[in-house]
Structure 1
Amino acid sequence: MPVKVSVVIPVYNPGKYIEDCIASLRRQSLPPDEFEAIFVDDGSTDDTPARLDALAAEVANMTVIHQEASGWSGKPRNVGMAASQGEFVMFVDNDDYLGDEALERMYDYAVANGADVVVGKMAGKGRGVPVELFRRNHPRATVDNAPLIDSLTPHKMFRRAFLDRIGLRFPEGRRRLEDHVFVTEAYLRAENVSVLSDYVCYYHLRREDASNAGFQRFDPVGYFQNLREALDVVEKYTEPGPNRDRLFRRWLRNEMVERMRGKRLLAAPEDYRKELFTEIREVVLERFGPGVAAGLQPTQQVVAALIADDRLDDLVAFAEWEASVVSRAEPDGVEWDGGVLRVGLSAELASRGTPMTFPAEGSATPLTTPPASVEEAVDWVGAQGVAGFERATVDLLLRKRASSAQYFQPVEFTRETVPGEDGRVRLVLRGQAALDPATGADGSPLDAGLWDVFVRVKLGGWTKESRLGPVPLKGRTAADAGVAGGRVVLPYWTTKEGTLALDVDSASKRLGLGRVTCGEVTITGDRVEVPVPFHVPGDTPVLLKLTRGSGGASAKVPGTLRPQGSTALLEAELPVADLTGAPWQVALSPAPDAPEPRSHPLPFALRVKAGRVQVMPVRPLRPAAGKRLVRRARRLAGRLVARLRARGR
């Protein structure tokens, strides 16, 4: 069968970090005979070459090419591309990994839309990834109608015939930004680029030892010379004017201004700070006209103006002020409504622990000359923030703690100007988010696990993220668990920070089932009714698991959760004739159709005497008794091991 996708992985001394990459390739839903993985070992000196040789010998669709160290990823990617047989080529770094369905989904999306390039949604663990680009699918994206230029890493799928037709290859040698040169030209010359945003295709990881190539300190002279090559590509394939300025703005913002502002600038050693400033200023004066900086956010415009005006000391002073600015999001109610979790919130900027205030009157006066002082710069930014408040937005995102996959949730919000001190005002965003467990992951149900709630604020020229909270109720539930979308979802306040999070299909004690008492259990003939602390949007099928004694016979009984005020009523018909002998322990599976359904014990047992069902309390195991059992088990295990050893002598 023809190979649909060739996955090319440049490799250099990844050690243990390559294992997740390998495992994700072996889990792909695309059949093994429809894709190949080509590992190009660029002179590794650790155990990786032997690991890859063993892998290639074991797995038919995985091969390894060994070569002398070239110094960077460009040459191994080109070598892998030359050896590839696939209709499409996908580039993956050796310390990252793919979503299980990534290759199948991206290939099908490429074919459906006739795409030369497919950009799959990314999740970053300790690494920044584009956010706005992945708000929705873009079947026909361009640099004009989507923020494609925000994603210049090579971790995409490219049509091999397209790369061959235009002769596109990565720059080689020990250098930086080879991916910017490659991807920018691909965007500008492709017939179509498609952005797949409803599934996390690529997980971009920062190693625990922070030894990813992109995190190493670089030589500013070489770095910005390589950056000029990316700008050359833009100049070659665009005409002078607003579109070129908008593309250039990406490099001015991300690679220059952001290195010269806030905490990032302050963290740089003074000598390195000066080196960066010198090289950045040279590029700014050499390549960027006034239209490039004019489209930046106000704070970024100030930084760009100070760079051009050769004022490093003022940049540092401005960074010290800006580093104190954070966003603060406070919850305003968490409650279930028809299977949807409604989360109220208010958000604003804060500085040095207090709400940030702005001048009462705004001004949209453009920054035509550099500000005379840092104080003047701060005043100008504040006036711009008020003038642009009608464009301020707030978003709520769910981010899975284990993988960093994140999803926007619907938010309705209003903007409010609140009087402050000295005639100034606070700019506050108030909203309510709707979290639907059935569709919260871009139309799909939320996966099992822990999900943190983040609030993303665009206000006053900043884009800031923060957790929702804190509240003083650390470690407590924020609302009863909801059974919705085939999931059991428990909103709670985290123990460490008191911020909002969701536990999906993994909570046990916090569900509150231990609060049910025998007196609340109603038996009518063979029918049992029990109020339980769950929210359900309507009649919800569940499953009861009955187990005789400790580990004896078992039976599964279908039941229903019915809405009853703010809680639910569990109803089931018991197989009374079968419930003979010792008491039967009762466990509830609220979401029996979940991918990994769980059963939660209820604090009572059932026993049938003379044809009548009796309810008996189940005493929880006391901590001291539990410890005694553990010690006893250890002693018995030790004796058994000793006997076995004695026999073996």
Structure 2
Amino acid sequence: MPRTTPPRVSVIIPAYNSMPELTKCVTSAIEQTLGPEQIEIIAIDDGSTDGTAEELDRLARACSRLRVVHQPNSGGAGGPRNTGLDLATGDYVFFLDSDDYLGPDALRRMVTTADENRTDVVLGKMVSVGGRAVPTAVFSHNQPRTDVFSSLAYRTLGCWKLFRRSLIERLGLRFPPYRNCEDKPFTAAAYLNADGISVVADYDCYYSRNRQNGNNLTRTASALVHRMDGTRLCFETVARYVEPGPRRDRIMRRHVEWELCGPLRAPLPREDEREARERFYPQFREWALRYVTDGVFQQIAPPDRLIVHLLRADRYEDLMTVARHAKEDETRGHIVDKGRVYWLHPFFRDPLKAVPDACFDVTDRLPVHHDLTDAAWTGDGGRLRLSGHARIDSLGPLEPSTRLILRPRGFAHPDLRLPVVVGATPYLPGAHTGDSPEPAARFSAVLDLDAVDSGAPLGDGVWDLHLEVHCDGVGRTVRLRQARTDGDGGRTDPAPRELRTTSRTGRGPTTARPFYTPHGNFSVEIRPTPAEPPCHVTEVAWDPSAPGTLVVGGRLTAEAARHRETMTLRAEDDTGLARETSLHCAPAGGHTGFTARLPVRELPPGRWTLTLTASVTPGADEPHAPVPVPVTTTLTGTRWFSASRLGRPYYAKPLPRGAHGALVLRVAPVRLTVALRRRLRALLN
């Protein structure tokens, strides 16, 4: 049966002498849970001689969605990928190398993520098979919508990702004809122009493996001659799409570390001496002069700073000496001088070499090993006791000048610096001591939240805790965090505690909430103790007898029941437009129950946040905070026909919760083409 609707994804597989891995690769694309009508597979045989062409033809005879193209060998993966792009018709494109394979649910998850978050590029979690290196840091957690400046996405420039095809065609992106590094400029350009990037980290999407015969292009085309053009294009791509400044420096840093300094430590010393000096070295030097700004120089590690300095200074012989001894020089120790720590490289303060100290300064890069082993209230007041251990790698014991820092998050207030007790301090009862740190690395502190700010109580807001670690006269400040987790992978927060009101003149009760962030960082939130909400929601459902009408029910507190006429169910959209409906109240089992009916069908299209609100009650200083209508798993979407809008169908569906956990409804007209497409897919399936 011919295809009636465009596919969601075009899977492009470049193949050259790919047996026996090819069969599993193609089969993994055919068996995707996204569905047969949602996928087209375009496999390009790039002049194979090992049976790859015959295997593709065999697979295509059994699968109408697999299109096979045979073409003369192009010498790299870029050529066949471009052939696939010219033929692709899907909303998205996914590049799958013939060595690798997909998890069964990979494409469905990535397409759903791109659709829901309207992102142009989706990274699916990569898995190593047989020891092949894959990126891991970017896949530490799901990221529904991010970009290259606020994530680690730019650290992986392989093209094994889901790309929105309209982005590729708008930019006119195609792969350059290089044997190595051909995918990095392509992915870089897509990243830097994407309207959002997503990361799927909770499912193994892409399995990367080495070929049995060892002829992966990354191995057979590893010489510098195959890398130079791609590296040049990487630098030019960043310069083209990102204006000079800190944002460009952040992106350029990746290429300076990986594409400039990396090859100078490994491949360059193995090259022919004449080729290295006359062909490759001048190009590396040009990149160092043109693209390594002072901002980039400050961000890179000392070994890379040394390489960049020697390139800028045009010192070829010294550069080759550094490159040839890079591994053994990595293990050299450090020296502390005037509060700074330096790498003891042979060139350090050698008067004949005259290399600036900045090229060897590792102070800000020495790891700080620390752990908040316990946090607990002590006594009846607002005294919070902390204990843990900390040390700076390669340096001596903690010094008494070590300080705890409370830093306000998002509001103006000076940092609060507090002393800690260092040395053989005892752990709190029940504290974790499994790491058995040296006594000289231990610390403890007591925060009196009622008097911590020069005798005044800690102000309202979130305060993040940092530790300023001092060892051998060297200071490093780190975010105070707890490394260990509970059995379920979380951490146990100390219970919230109401603080004394006597020291807070003119203030009502205040609550301190110590908590760990998802990454284990420790913070304290100070907020006025909330009053009891005027109502409790127990029902959220669509009225089966009145299409497009939402019913919200629950009970009122005794105080709210006395002023029930002030209570309303409020729907507010993103522009501030609001609609309110009154509550119908009646006695119910010893309390006052309420029901509110919201005619969602009368709301204009938009995103509407639902809350229950009450005006000021007699004797109260300010109105109650809005009570969010909670999100329920049982509430689904609904549809209706609007007579006032030419009988057009509309829908409302719940979205991820909004501010303070409130229910958000999206109201919009049904896109008839989308509805028809879904109906056809259902019939065909």
Per the shorter chain, which TM-score range?
A: 0.5 to 0.7
Residue in structure 1 matched with residue 183 of structure 2 by the alignment:
179
- Give the 3 Å change call, closer, same or farther, for CA 321–66 of structure 1 in structure 2: closer
SS of 1:158 mapped into structure 2 = strand
Does residue 225 in structure 1 map to residue 229 in structure 2? Answer: yes
State which of 152, 155, 175 in structure 2 corresponds to 1:150.
155
Write the distance in 2 (CA, Å) between the matches of 1:242 and 1:432.
Answer: 31
State which of 122, 125, 128 in structure 2 corresponds to 1:121.
125
Alignment of 1:188-587 (within 5 A): 188-217=192-221, 220=224, 223-261=227-265, 274=277, 276-319=280-323, 322-324=326-328, 356=333, 358-359=335-336, 362-363=339-340, 373=350, 380=357, 384-389=361-366, 414-416=390-392, 434=484
Write the distance in 2 (CA, Å) between the matches of 1:272 and 1:424.
Answer: 47
- Give the 3 Å change call, closer, same or farther, for CA 179–382 of structure 1 in structure 2: closer
SS of 2:227 mapped into structure 1 = helix
Contact in 2 for aligned 1:314/1:374 (Cα 8 Å): no
Write the distance in 2 (CA, Å) between the matches of 1:184 and 1:387.
Answer: 29
Amino acid at match of 1:281: R
- Give the 3 Å change call, closer, same or farther, for CA 433–240 of structure 1 in structure 2: closer
Does residue 39 in structure 1 map to residue 40 in structure 2? Answer: no
- Give the 3 Å change call, closer, same or farther, for CA 325–101 of structure 1 in structure 2: farther
Which structure has the bigger radius of gyration? Answer: 2
- Give the 3 Å change call, closer, same or farther, for CA 11–323 of structure 1 in structure 2: same
SS of 1:260 mapped into structure 2 = helix
- Give the 3 Å change call, closer, same or farther, for CA 76–162 of structure 1 in structure 2: same
SS of 2:76 mapped into structure 1 = coil
- Give the 3 Å change call, closer, same or farther, for CA 387–148 of structure 1 in structure 2: closer
- Give the 3 Å change call, closer, same or farther, for CA 35–438 of structure 1 in structure 2: farther
Does residue 136 in structure 1 map to residue 141 in structure 2? Answer: yes
Per-residue deviation at 1:391?
5.7
Write the distance in 1 (CA, Å) between the matches of 2:286 and 2:110.
Answer: 40
Per-residue deviation at 1:185?
1.5
Residue in structure 1 matched with residue 81 of structure 2 by the alignment:
77
Per-residue deviation at 1:310?
3.1
Amino acid at match of 1:306: L
TM-score by length of 1: 0.52
Superposed CA deviations along residues 604-631 of structure 1, whole A, max 9, x for unmatched, are: xxxxxxxxxxxxxxxxxxxxxxxxxxxx
Write the distance in 1 (CA, Å) between the matches of 2:363 and 2:62.
Answer: 63
SS of 1:140 mapped into structure 2 = strand
State which of 101, 105, 115 in structure 1 corresponds to 2:105.
101
Contact in 1 for aligned 2:60/2:67 (Cα 8 Å): yes
Residue in structure 1 matched with residue 171 of structure 2 by the alignment:
166
TM-score by length of 2: 0.50
Residue in structure 1 matched with residue 8 of structure 2 by the alignment:
4
- Give the 3 Å change call, closer, same or farther, for CA 267–81 of structure 1 in structure 2: same
Amino acid at match of 1:155: W
Write the distance in 1 (CA, Å) between the matches of 2:202 and 2:352.
Answer: 45
5+ residue gaps, structure 1, are 327-349, 395-411, 441-649
Contact in 1 for aligned 2:303/2:359 (Cα 8 Å): no
Write the distance in 2 (CA, Å) between the matches of 1:29 and 1:413.
Answer: 49
Write the distance in 1 (CA, Å) between the matches of 2:173 and 2:326.
Answer: 41
Residue in structure 2 matched with residue 558 of structure 1 by the alignment:
none
Write the distance in 2 (CA, Å) between the matches of 1:104 and 1:273.
Answer: 48
Amino acid at match of 2:391: R
Does residue 15 in structure 1 map to residue 19 in structure 2? Answer: yes
Contact in 1 for aligned 2:48/2:73 (Cα 8 Å): yes
Write the distance in 2 (CA, Å) between the matches of 1:184 and 1:418.
Answer: 38
SS of 2:195 mapped into structure 1 = coil
Amino acid at match of 1:384: D
Amino acid at match of 2:304: Q
Residue in structure 2 matched with residue 61 of structure 1 by the alignment:
65
- Give the 3 Å change call, closer, same or farther, for CA 297–391 of structure 1 in structure 2: farther
Of the two structures, which has the highest relative contact order with CA contacts closer than 8 Å and spacing of 6 or more? 1
Per-residue deviation at 1:170?
2.5
SS of 2:163 mapped into structure 1 = strand
Write the distance in 2 (CA, Å) between the matches of 1:75 and 1:383.
Answer: 44
Write the distance in 2 (CA, Å) between the matches of 1:375 and 1:203.
Answer: 51
Amino acid at match of 2:8: K
Write the distance in 1 (CA, Å) between the matches of 2:168 and 2:352.
Answer: 51
Residue in structure 1 matched with residue 53 of structure 2 by the alignment:
49
Write the distance in 2 (CA, Å) between the matches of 1:15 and 1:248.
Answer: 38
Contact in 2 for aligned 1:318/1:374 (Cα 8 Å): no
Amino acid at match of 1:29: T
Write the distance in 2 (CA, Å) between the matches of 1:375 and 1:13.
Answer: 54
SS of 1:323 mapped into structure 2 = helix
Write the distance in 2 (CA, Å) between the matches of 1:147 and 1:420.
Answer: 33
Contact in 1 for aligned 2:184/2:230 (Cα 8 Å): no
Write the distance in 2 (CA, Å) between the matches of 1:276 and 1:313.
Answer: 14
- Give the 3 Å change call, closer, same or farther, for CA 238–364 of structure 1 in structure 2: farther
Superposed CA deviations along residues 462-490 of structure 1, whole A, max 9, x for unmatched, are: xxxxxxxxxxxxxxxxxxxxxxxxxxxxx
Amino acid at match of 2:361: Q
Amino acid at match of 1:90: F
5+ residue gaps, structure 2, are 372-387, 398-470, 491-685
